[in-house]
Structure formats: C-alpha cells, structure tokens
Structure 1
Amino acid sequence: METIYDSPRIAISRLPGDSGSAVVSFAGVGLALDGLPHEEFVKTLSGSRHTQFFVIDKLRSWYNDTASEIVEQLTSRIGEFERVFTLGNSMGGFGAIYFGRHLPRCRAAIAFGPQYSVHPQIVPTEKRWQNWRSGIKEWTIPHALSGTGHALPLHVFYGHPGLDLDQARLFMENRPDDMALYMIEGAGHKTASFMKSHGCLTAILDLIFVQNESAANVARFLHEQKISVLCHQGRRDASHQLC
C-alpha cells in the first residue's frame, strides 16, 4: 500500500485493484480496520480486488477537524472510478456513513459498529474515547448523518449485546429510508472480525458492493450462515419494518 497524501492531520494510502471499482476505507481510533488486514475488505468472490483508498484521521476528531481536507484530496482521486464505496469500523464507520453521503459516485456504504455521535450533548452517557473527544473544539459534524448528503444504501452492522447499543438506538431513531441496521448476536464491537471468523466477510462485501443486493437478502444470507441477526430498515415511523 502506497502513501499518496500525508499531512499533519490526515494520511491517505492506495492499494491498486483490478475490478474497476474503489473502496474508500476509514480507520478507527486505533488507526486500523477492526484488527484485520486492509486487503480483507477489497476481495471479491470472483478473485478480483477493488482499488482501496485507506484514510486516517490522525487527530481522531471524528472528522470534525479533517472532513474538508479529506473530501478535497479524495474527490479528484476517485473520479476515475465509475463505482465508489465507503467502509469503516467504529470511528471509521462514522466516516463511512458521513463521507459516503458526501463523496461523488459513491454507491453504498458499510459501517461496522459506528458511532452515531460522540458529541457530549447528543450522547451524554457515552464515556469512551474521552482523551480524543475532549480535543474537539468545533463540532462541524455533530453526528454521522450531518449535512445534506445524497441518498445511497447504508448498511450498518452492530453486535448484540454490547457497548454500542445506545449508539445503535440513535441510528434507529434517526435513520433515513435508505439505511438498514443489522443487529448480530454475539459479535460485540468487532462485527467485521466476527464475520471473518464465520467465513462470510468477503461474501457480505460482495453482496453489497458487487451484486447490489437488498438488505433483506443480506440478512437472509447471514441467517443461512447460522448467524443470528435482526435487521431494521427504513424510517422509524415506517419502521419496525424488518428486512
């Protein structure tokens, strides 16, 4: 993986692929993707690989201090691809949702265990990551659905039970029509690693990025893999509509 941009605030690396599509992956607070190798997130069942752009917010600011620089640097670089996707875990999942709605040509986003917000007024009971959150002085992106981004399928995966349930509840209460939330029994905060350990991570990515499958079909596939999942889709008032 080659570093193509590096500043005091962000770093962007690129891993070439051959599928004609690009996946923009956003690092979590630990500057990784759920502890898995980067290439695990760009494999396809056919054997090809998507080009990957790996984005690090060095300030761990949940992009409040870095979003404009990230958009500026990515927009021209992803312009050659007809199909672009975003993906991330935890803070990176927050980024996948936010930037998926604000980057050009983005067709879908996948977020594993994302935060809806880390703003103290929105999530007063959230006590994690205080050392990084306390450094955010201007909340330009108070939550992952901030701004007037374009619509696209948003696939959000959470482990149940776990420490992320309050964050999941906020997405449930504010989710747009195009968002599906999957609650996966036993996955905890490491939903991507959980899927990898069950041998289905590449297949899930393929269903969403390559086959453009519906949330109902993604949930059906997980059930077929003997993974217990409850899927919610659409607005809360339409809601308790199960996938």
Structure 2
Amino acid sequence: MSDGKEWYLEYEIHKNRPGLLGEVSSLLGALGINILTINGVDHERRGLLVSSQDDQQMDQVLATIKKMETIHLTKFRQPTLGDRLAVRHGRYIERDTGDRNTFLFSRDEIGLLVDFMAELFKMPDHPLLGIRGLPRVGKSESIIAASVSANKRWQFVSSTLLKQTVRTRLSEDERSRDHIFVIDGAVSQRIGSESHWELIRELMRLPVTKVIEHPDTFVRGTEFSMDIFDYIIELRSHREEEILNGASPAASDFSWPDFNS
C-alpha cells in the first residue's frame, strides 16, 4: 500500500451515547490513522475519510471496530466521488433505482448538486450531462455555479436565461476545451435553425464537456438518443414534484421566453 492511501469508513450507530465519536476518533488516532473528514451521512450513520500508511493499520482498525457493540461497520473502501460529497454535505446523492446513471436532487440540495457537477466538469474525459427539471427550478444557475467552482468558463449555445439565445457559430476563443457548453434542448428544438443544429452536431463530435437541459426533448426527432449521456440529473423543487415520462413537462408547454446534472 502506498503512503497516505485514503479510505472511506462508514458505521451505523447501534447505541448512541455521549463520547462515542471521541472513542472512535481516539481509536483511529492511537492506531496511527489520520482522520481527514468526518460527518453524519444519515440519521444514525457517520462517515469518515481517513488516510493510512499500510495495510496493517487498517486491519487493526477493522478488527477493533468489529468488536465494538455500539457501532456496526457498514462500508469500508477507497472513497468514491459520492463518498467524498456525502461527508462534505452530510448526505448521499440519491440515484434512480431504475437507472444508476440518473441522479436525483431537490432544490434544497443545490449546494450538493453544484459540487457534484463541478467534480464532473473537472474530469479529463469531458462527460456529456443531461439535466431535467421544470422552469425556474435552478438548472442554469447550478450549471454556472458549478462551472465557476470547477474554474471553467461556460458558453450558452442555446438558452433563455437572460435573453433568448440560439447560436449558429462560435469564435476560435469560444471553442476552448476548458469551456462548458450549455444547450437548452427545448429552445434548440423549438426555434433552432439548420445552421444552429450544424453547430450542435459539431460540438457533439468534439472532446468538450457539454450540458444539455431538457435532454429528452433534445434527442426527439434527431440522430441522437438518451444512450449518449454519461450522466442524467433530475432537479425538482421538492421530492414530490413529478417529471413526466422522464422529461420536463414544461419543455413544450411553458410560455417563452423563460429561463432555465
């Protein structure tokens, strides 16, 4: 094992009592484990990001925790992006049980969503994201905030955020791979010209990060399918809000202009 290897530990609290967290922290410290971050990730669960120097240290930790009656170890692995965000925000990102590439957020989780997209924007393989949601729920604002957090510039190819935007060409400066290209699928389908779609097709071929709002509407009647998306994000005002047939119902029904994985 290499020096300073990071691990994610999560335990469920069977019998909560004062000083329990201190006991776990003291145990890790005594065994030479460095605690990087710790936070509650559920009502009765706590997650920790730790670093260790060798296998023996972690073997000792696991053996000792298994003997503790007050807690039960539920996860032990090298940290995933979801683990890091869960510890940072105190909650896990919810996934669609029917489609593991679809991630669910409500408006009170905007901070978690922004951090999640920012991490995706930093990926070197330039993922393609689709984001669903009703108008004015915060899709475009989240994309902009995530771009800023990832130290990227954003470029609207089609949008109604401030004014109706339908681009047909981009300058050389605007074609940087450090840009996040944002396409509103409903706008492009409604009023996009052939030259606008030629630009979209060109961008789809390029190794650049793209975010498409209303992805289901975007692919309708085109050569594209939902299979092209690496991640789908659904953003709701509240958990009970319905997104019909996997698409934002407002994509064809709301009044224009209107603003806003």
Q: Same fold (TM over 0.5)?
A: no
- With normalisation by structure 1, the TM-score equals 0.27
Structure with greater helix share of residues? 2
TM-score (ref. length: structure 2): 0.26
Larger radius of gyration: 2
Q: When you count strand as a share of all residues, which structure comes out higher?
A: 2
